């Protein structure tokens, strides 16, 4: 069944997930300090990794987002996107379990959406959209086609 995903479904998933990652990266890239503060409020990242992570994550989101949109190394990009989404879900679940009333820091560093169950639902949808790209027999149209020829 995994092999029946059409290239167009894969393309739609790629563009959707890639677009979300590119959009999410922008504000974090512009405001690393505010993003570091948002990460710190989760109390999951040690001080020694806080700033490196605040710099790395938006760049990783851009690399993954661009790869998905352009269709370059798309399976690997979707795997990374899924992995990142799982990390986000664990962080949100941990915050909810501890009753933290914090901003999620997902898209905007100046306040933004507070952590809640709806974010887990949203990330589940995002994770589900990564699966066709990772598992499909044929990827959607993209730069990977040029690599194969």
Shortest gap between Cβ of 18 and another protein (angstroms)? 12
Closer residue to another protein (CB): 60 or 120:
60
Block residue for tokens 């999620």: 104
Contacts of 101 (CB under 8 A, 6+ apart): 114, 115
Any long-range contacts for 59-65 (C-beta under 8 Å, 24+ apart)?
59/25, 59/29, 60/84, 61/21, 61/22, 61/24, 61/25, 61/28, 62/21, 62/22, 62/25, 62/29, 64/18, 64/21, 65/17, 65/18, 65/19, 65/20, 65/21, 65/22, 65/25
Distance in Å, CB of 118 to another protein, minimum: 25
Judged by CB, which is closer to another protein: 24, or 73?
Answer: 73
Compute the least distance from the CB of residue 98 to another protein, in Å: 16
> Among residues 119 and 132, whose Cβ is nearest to another protein?
132
The length of the chain in residues reads 149
**Considering beta carbons, is residue 98 or 137 the nearer one to another protein?**
137
Interaction site with another protein (CB under 8 A): 2-3, 31-34, 36-37, 40-41, 47-48, 50-52, 54-56, 59-60, 62-64, 67, 73-77, 79-80, 83, 109-110, 134-137
In whole angstroms, how close is the CB of 68 to another protein at the nearest point?
10
**Nearest-approach distance from CB 37 to another protein, in angstroms:** 5
Asked if residue 133 lies in contact with residue 2, where contact means CB atoms within 8 angstroms, the answer is no
Please identify, using beta-carbon distances, which residue of 55 and 93 lies nearer to another protein: 55
């Amino acid at each position: 069944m995994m092999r029946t995903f059409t290239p167009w479904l894969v393309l739609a998933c790629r563009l959707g997930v890639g677009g979300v990652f590119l959009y999410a990266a922008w504000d974090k890239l512009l405001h690393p300090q505010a993003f570091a503060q948002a990460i710190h409020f989760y109390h999951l990242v040690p001080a020694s990794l806080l700033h490196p992570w605040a710099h790395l994550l938006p760049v990783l989101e851009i690399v993954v987002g661009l790869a998905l949109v352009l269709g370059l190394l798309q399976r690997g990009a979707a795997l990374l996107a899924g992995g990142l989404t799982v990390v986000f879900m664990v962080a949100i679940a941990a915050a909810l379990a501890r009753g933290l009333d914090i901003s999620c820091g997902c898209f905007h560093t100046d306040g933004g959406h507070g952590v809640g169950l709806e974010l887990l639902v949203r990330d589940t949808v995002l994770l589900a959209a990564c699966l066709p790209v990772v598992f499909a027999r044929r990827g959607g149209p993209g730069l990977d086609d040029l690599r194969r020829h």
